[in-house]
Amino acid sequence: MALANVAIVGGDTLLARELETVFSERAPEVALLKTGFEQEERNARLARDEEVEVVLAFDEAILEATRVVILAGTGETSRKAHRFVTRRRPHPAIIDLTYALEEEAAARLRAPLAEPAETAGEPGDLFVIAHPAAVVLAAFFRRLAARHAVRRWLVHVFEPASERGKVGVEELQQQTVHLLSFRALPKRVFDEQLSFNLLARYGSDAPHSLQSIEARLERHLATLLARANLIPMPSLRLIQAPVFHGHSFSVWVEFDQPPEVAALAASLASDLIEVRSAEEEPPTNVGVAGQSGMTVGLIEIDRNDPRSAWFWIVADNHRMTAENTVRLAQTILAGEGGR
């Protein structure tokens, strides 16, 4: 069995697949192994003849040769992996993508694509990757505020079903099929009809509330902005959209002085941010699937307030998380960050 520099716990999830793609593109030198604790669940899926990734049991042999452990499964498997890994002294660095460990005293929130350069080398052995929408907004505002004085801003974030993992995507798909065939809708994840609908709140029996996810997004964004000495925080509302993949953002910004669209576009354009002009097609969440960074379009001055402007932003949520994770893992493996 090949051992790994990086082990992914939860190796058959949507996030794990995206991580595998990004590692192969950005860090092909890294030995990667997809692992998990969910053997009984995988055996059940195999018994139903479903397509399953090859995932090895996360054991002492794998841990022995692993320098970074990425938690990309469920909260339960992340906590189990954390206990398993930290029995060893010293233990590999842990990168949590599930938020299960963000309340641990040693946990540090990270988002390499939206952080000041001096953050890269700060020590630690337990990292939580920020919510992908927080990363997008922090990176967007960092570019904008560098050249324009901002008074206030407001954001509507449209969350895709894939942020709830495979079960969220499957429930949206099943709801759509059942709705069109006049059958009862499955509601295990959202406890509401999401298909052909927008949700400001999940049903009361949903395993996670949209309010708690919104609070995490705000908390992560506040941390990232404070780390870069950026103010103000935006007013923010998270809305569950009936889409499978990709975040969309409607952003309103009020400036000290009336802005010009060309100047706003120029301030945002960078390796991370693609800016589309009024002559180009507006970006869509479907159009950015599998693409790096974010795309900004429909930059327009507010018709009722010449000091304000609207922005439409889209980004692949899993790609954003994976690229921040791979960037952090490379830093740890290079010895520039970590313990």
The pLDDT value recorded for residue 41 is 47
Read off the pLDDT band of 35 (50, 70, 90): confident
Residue-number span of the structural domain to which 91 is assigned: 6-129+321-333
Amino acid at 127: F
Per-residue model confidence (pLDDT) at position 263: 96
For residues 264 and 153, give the distance between their C-alpha atoms in angstroms, rounded to a whole number.
14
Q: For 209-261, how does the pLDDT look when each residue is reduced to its tens digit (9 = 90+)?
A: 999 999 999 999 999 999 989 989 999 999 999 999 999 999 999 999 999 99
Number of separate domains in the chain: 2
- Is pLDDT at 337 greater than 90 in this prediction? no
- The strand order across the sheet containing 32-36 reads 56-57, 32-36, 6-9, 68-71, 93-96, 126-129, 108-110
Residue 16 lies in a domain: yes
What share of the chain in percent tops pLDDT 70? 91
Looking at the domain assignment, is residue 338 inside a domain? no
Say if residue 49's pLDDT is above 90. no
Pinpoint the alpha helices (H) of 146-279.
Answer: 166-180, 210-227, 261-268
pLDDT at 64: 81
Asked whether residue 274 falls in the same domain as residue 305, the answer is: yes
Q: Look at residue 66 and tell me if it is in a domain.
A: yes
Question: Same structural domain for residues 28 and 157?
Answer: no
Same domain for 164 and 300, yes or no, is yes
Shared domain for 101 and 183, answered yes or no, is no
For residues 173 and 306, state if they share a domain: yes
Answer whether residue 79 is part of any domain: yes
More reliable by pLDDT, 220 or 34 = 220
Residue 122 sits in the same domain as residue 206 = no
Cβ distance 284 to 312 under 8 Å? no
Instruction: Please report, for the domain that includes residue 96, its CATH number.
Output: 3.40.50.720
Q: Which residue has the higher pLDDT, 11 or 168?
A: 168
- Asked, for residue 76, whether it belongs to a domain, the answer is yes
Quickly state the pLDDT bin for 44 (edges 50, 70, 90).
very low
Residue 339, domain member (yes or no): no
Query: Does one domain contain both 154 and 118?
Result: no
Q: What pLDDT shows up at residue 2?
A: 55
Q: Identify whether 59 is part of a domain.
A: yes
Q: Which of 69-78, 315-324, 328-337: highest mean pLDDT?
A: 315-324
**Average of per-residue pLDDT across 149-173:** 95
Query: 31-35, 42-46, 99-103, 179-183 — which is least confidently predicted?
Result: 42-46
Radius of gyration of the chain from its Cα atoms, rounded to whole angstroms: 21
Are residue 140 and residue 275 in the same domain, yes or no? Answer: yes
| Residue given tokens 């960078």 in the structure block | 270
246/290 Cα distance (integer angstroms): 9
This model's pTM is above 0.75: yes
Residue 99 pLDDT level (bands cut at 50, 70, 90): very high
Residues 6+ apart with CB under 8 A from 163: 132, 213, 317
Residues 185 and 284 in one domain: yes
pLDDT at 32: 86
Give the domain CATH number at 223.
3.30.360.10
Within-domain flag for 1:
no
Do 329 and 312 lie in one domain? The reply is: no
Order of all β-strands in the sheet with 294-301: 235-240, 150-159, 247-255, 308-315, 294-301, 273-275
Residues 309 and 181 in one domain: yes
**Residue 8 in this model has a pLDDT that exceeds 80:** yes
pLDDT at site 59: 74
Same domain, 168 and 259: yes
